[in-house]
């Protein structure tokens, strides 16, 4: 091949390469203009992560506080339940004594009535 023929083949290649580079640059530019504006910067991302971390830590503290209150309330309720159960048990024992006493009184009265009927 002669030198002019080589240059003739090189010119379309260079035109194609230049067109391709311009197309790529335009594509990248349009991408950044349309999507890049919605992307966050490193500083904004750091701020978002720090805020999220702070919110999560705050929520964890709130949950721990609520759990502690639930534990405290459950302890108080358990103590109240024990007190009520003891009072109920004492009342049941007292009622059993009164029932036994009334049963004896009724039996005694029944015997006296039967004795009066016989006389």
Q: What is the pLDDT of residues 64-95, one digit of tens each?
A: 999 999 999 998 999 999 999 999 999 999 99
DSSP states along the chain:
--HHHHHHHHHHHHHHHHHHHHHHHHHHHHHHHHTGGGSPPHHHHHHHHHHHHHHHHHHHHHHHHHHHHHHHHHHHHHHHHHHHHHHHHHHHHHHHHHHHHHHHHHHHHHHHHHHHHH-
pLDDT of 4 above 70: no
Q: What is residue 39's predicted lDDT score, i.e. its pLDDT?
A: 77
pLDDT of 117 above 90: no
Q: How confident is the model at residue 2 (pLDDT cuts 50, 70, 90)?
A: low
**Is pTM beyond 0.75 here?**
no
Q: What is residue 11's predicted lDDT score, i.e. its pLDDT?
A: 77
């Amino acid at each position: 091949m002669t030198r002019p023929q080589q240059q003739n083949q090189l010119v379309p290649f260079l035109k194609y390469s230049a067109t391709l580079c311009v197309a790529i640059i335009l594509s990248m530019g349009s991408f950044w203009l349309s999507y890049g504006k919605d992307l966050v910067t490193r500083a904004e991302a750091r701020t978002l992560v720090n805020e999220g971390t702070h919110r999560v830590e705050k929520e964890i503290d709130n949950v721990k506080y609520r759990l502690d209150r639930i534990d405290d309330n459950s302890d108080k309720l358990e103590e109240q339940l024990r007190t009520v159960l003891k009072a109920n048990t004492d009342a049941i024992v007292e009622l059993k004594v009164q029932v036994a006493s009334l049963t004896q009184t009724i039996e005694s009265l029944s015997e006296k009535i039967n004795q009066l009927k016989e006389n």
